[in-house]
Amino acid sequence: MSALTRRRLLGQGALVVAFSLSRRAMGQVAEKRPTLPGDLDKFPLLDSWIRIDADGHITVFTGKAELGQGLKTALVQVAADELAVPPAGIELITADTARTPDEGVTAGSHSLQDSGTAILNAAANVRVLLTEAAAWRWLVAVEEVELHDGAAHAPNGDSLGYGELAAMLSLHVEAKPNVARREKGVRLIGTNLPRVDIPAKVTGGVAYVQDMRLPGMLHARVVRGPSEGTRLKPADFDAVARMPGVVQVVRDGGFTAVLATQEWQAIKALQRLQSAGWDRPGAKLPAEDMREAIRRLPSREVPIFDDPGPPAPADGKVVRARYSRPCLMHGSIGPSCAVALWENDGVTVWTHSQGVYPLRKSLAELLRLPADKVRCIHTEGSGCYGHNGADDVAADAALAARAVPGRPVRLQWMREQEHGWEPLGSAMVVELEATLADGRIAGWRHDVWSNAHSTRPATAGGLLAGAELDPPFPRQVPRPIPMPEGGGHRNGNPLYALTNAKGTYHFIEQMPVRVSALRSLGAHMNVFAIECFMDELAQAAGADPLAFRLAHMADGRAREVMQTAADRFGWAGRAQGGGGRGWGFAFARYKNLAAYCAVAMEVAVDRDSGDIKIRRVVAAVDSGEAVNPDGIRNQIEGAIVQSLSWTIHEAVAFDTTHRSSFDWSAYPIVRFDALPASVEVHVIDRPRQPFLGTGEAGQGPAAAALANAVADAVSLRIRDMPLAPEKVKAVLRS
């Protein structure tokens, strides 16, 4: 494209932005195009992803968000590697409804697969265009042009900066498929580039939405009962409005927020409004354990998989087991927070939501605004591990800000509000049955019961405030997430080579308590059950747990991950389990399409206290091409420690009126004094293979390896989480 055209396009900047962010489906060209990699297929225009200013400044756009998983660093690495510039030469813009492509939610370990792949291929396209522009300018063959350090270099020593080259062409063009990656030069992908966000986080810099301070900003608190399903009794709103510093008490139907000049003043006003007591207007909660309660509710059968095969021989050995987990909490350390500014009949919300676009749609409906009057800008918060209070608090802040146009409002939930109102990870039950013949699995049945695993807001009815306004917005109807990703049935289809095998998801629509996506969704439970069951089958077959797994595994990469973890751990040379010491192993490929992960663990169980001490954990992971191996290790280490906390320490408690796990004393999680002695993670790099999502791959294998090690140590199987000391003690006594 000529420079003239480029300038003309630059002169219509706003138009270009609007168009480059339009989806392919809305594009004007009807002809069928080849499929493009990752989310480049949805947004094929190069300038949706990469722009280069005349001064050489490079901006890269992603619709995904930094959640503490190291996304920013990995995407900078991908872009800088392919564009042959130092990482500092890339400015990365993350999820912002005014600037970045709509890549949905940052969830499901999809960011590198969807956005990383898109940016990699967009960058390869841009590199080719820059090379061609330089070759054209110098009248040399493209093979003679070398790109590095933000400039093209000619054989005669001439060089041209990317800015000059970019001014000669337009990036407002569709990506071409199958553009080869850069072959020569220094590589950034595969190196441990330090995280770009850590320096601010360890020196007290501004790093989170919680740290935002806008001029004239008010502090707000939302006013709610102690937990989801409860309602505060009427309070003396006028008296609260007269409290020191209180600017306004915002009331809209059942929604209430207090705004004050100082944060502590808002908190005191909140406490005053909460002091009148509360009740539960709706149906009481079930008195029994939530997993038993939901098991009794009507369910809809959703097939997971059905691999027919010869029926199991009649003299085969049938093994059955039932596993379960309670409701679990995301438990972000920082309660959810948002900053909102209402001006010009619209609102801007700085939010740590995982999905700025779905949030914008939900907020627009809630606030009865056109979508283009709502802007959601992702700003980091405390880690979320799934759908926590992030979206709800964004709505709370927007409603509060609507009452004070022109003044920014910062609204953070209290600890008890996060514990009491966040959507939980659903309770689950899995029943497994298998037939063994000649030491092999000859039949397999998997049945899983669970509520929905995503109720993320797609409408105003998906937000807490949506149910509080008058009239309330209709609640979203939960639906099962289809395979191959799956929700409650995620990883309900073992990767093992099985025939005569079938899985069924019993989807329970009715939710006694609010639930939604928690890191790895159903995979934590399904992998726990399958991998515990594999050990039970190995035992019934008189086989070593690892050998039994390998005998049923055809996938070469899965075998290598298992063998690597086993070798690094010293599995073959381990002592005989029993007498309180045990060794456990587990494996899964997340969703059967993302990262492979195997975990080996050694535990010591105190028979008197029931306390489990974890002596050593060794994991191996294959994430395809490892963009940042240390980032992968960090994710898997974290997944292991978090999953051990879920599996040993955690269960949300209820009485019939409310959720009683209101803080860290009522919902304890792992502390430093209960950590494993060591955790090692080995990354198997697969250069030039597709990126495989990693963030959630460790949850299931860590949980099952623990339970298998405990069973090995005490010769008794505990199938219901959590493996808390009281339960271990009770099982040992029985």
Contact residues for other proteins, defined by CB under 8 A: 67-70, 192, 194-195, 197-208, 210-211, 213, 219, 244, 262-265, 267, 330-335, 380-383, 385, 412, 414-415, 604, 613, 615, 630, 634-635, 637-642, 645, 663-665, 669-673, 675-679
Give the CA radius of gyration of the chain: 27
CB of 348 to other proteins, least distance (A): 21
Nearer to other proteins, 132 or 263 (CB): 263
Q: Which residues pair with 251 in a beta bridge?
A: 256
DSSP 284: P
175 or 612, CB closer to other proteins?
612
* Token pair in block for residue 706: 């623990």
- Here the tokens at position 522 are 């159903």
Return the closest-CA partner of residue 176 out of 115, 126, 141. 126
Least gap, CB of 695 to other proteins (angstroms): 10
CA dist 76 and 193 (Å) reads 10
Q: Which residue, 247 or 501, has its beta carbon nearer to other proteins?
A: 247
What totals of helices (H) and strands (E) does the chain contain, helices first?
20, 24
Our CB check for other proteins shows the closer of 374 and 632 to be 632
CB of 97 to other proteins, least distance (A): 22
Cα–Cα distance measured from residue 608 to residue 494, given in angstroms and rounded to the nearest whole number = 36
Smallest distance from other proteins to CB 481, Å = 24
Largest Cα–Cα separation, the chain: 85
- The Cβ of residue 456 has, within 10 Å, a number of other Cβ atoms equal to 21
Nearer to other proteins, 131 or 382 (CB): 382
Tokens of 661: 């796990």
Residues β-bridged to residue 598: 587, 620
SS3 content of the chain, % helix, strand, coil (to 5): 35, 20, 45
Which residue, 345 or 673, is less far from other proteins as judged by CB?
A: 673
Nearer Cβ to other proteins (159/634): 634
Q: How far is the CB of 331 from other proteins (least distance, A)?
A: 5
Task: Work out how close the CB of 440 gets to other proteins at its nearest, in angstroms, rounded to a whole number.
Answer: 36
Containing H/E element for 710?
A: helix 699-714
Preceding peptide of 690 cis, ω within 30°: no
In the complex, the smallest distance separating the C-beta of residue 445 from other proteins, rounded to whole angstroms, is 34
Bridge partner residues of 421 (DSSP): none
Question: What angle in degrees, to the nearest 10, is found between the helix axes of 13-20 and 3-10?
Answer: 90
Taking the least distance from each CB to other proteins, the nearer of 197 and 509 is 197
CA distances to 296, 378, 429, 502, 509 from 480, rounded to whole Å, are 18, 27, 16, 18, 9
- Residue 456 CB, shortest distance to other proteins, in Å, is 19
Q: Which is nearer to other proteins, 214 or 371 (CB)?
A: 214
647 vs 158, 429, 640, 706, 724, CA distance in Å? Answer: 62, 14, 10, 8, 8
What is the C-alpha to C-alpha distance for residues 641 and 702, in angstroms, rounded to an integer?
A: 8
| Smallest gap from residue 390 Cβ to other proteins (A) | 12
Report the nearest approach of other proteins to the CB of residue 664 (Å): 4
Of 483 and 518, the one with the shorter C-beta distance to other proteins is 518
Q: How far is the CB of 409 from other proteins (least distance, A)?
A: 14
Residue 703 tokens, joined? 């949980």
**Token couple for 215:** 């001029």
Beta bridge partners, 367, equal none
**Which two tokens mark 191?**
């190196």
Q: How far is the CB of 677 from other proteins (least distance, A)?
A: 5
Which residue, 675 or 732, has its beta carbon nearer to other proteins? Answer: 675
Shortest spacing between CB 212 and other proteins, in angstroms: 10
Specify the DSSP class assigned to residue 149. Answer: T
- How many CA atoms lie within 13 Å of 523's alpha carbon, on the beta-carbon side? 36
Q: Which C-beta is closer to other proteins: that of 116 or that of 638? A: 638
Residue carrying the six token digits 């939530």: 290
Q: In what order do the strands lie in the sheet with 679-683?
A: 581-589, 596-605, 612-622, 679-683
Alpha helices in 204-355 (DSSP H): 237-241, 263-274, 290-295
Residue 385 CB contacts under 8 Å (≥ 6 apart), including other chains: 330, 331, 332, 518, 519, 642
**Is 216 exposed, middle or buried (CB count within 10 Å of its CB: 0-12, 13-18, 19+)?**
exposed
What does DSSP assign to residue 244? T
d(CA 109, CA 597): 13
Least Å distance between CB 459 and other proteins? 28
Q: How far apart are CA 183 and CA 187, in angstroms?
A: 9
Minimum gap (Å) between residue 484 Cβ and other proteins: 27
Q: Which is nearer to other proteins, 382 or 708 (CB)?
A: 382
Tell me whether residue 195 or residue 325 sits nearer to other proteins (CB atom): 195
CB of 66 to other proteins, least distance (A): 9
111 versus 592: smaller Cβ distance to other proteins: 111
Report the run of H or E that residue 60 belongs to, with start and end.
strand 58-61
Distant-in-sequence, close-in-space partners of 183: CB < 8 Å, separation ≥ 6: none
Of the pair 192, 248, the CB lying nearest other proteins is at 192
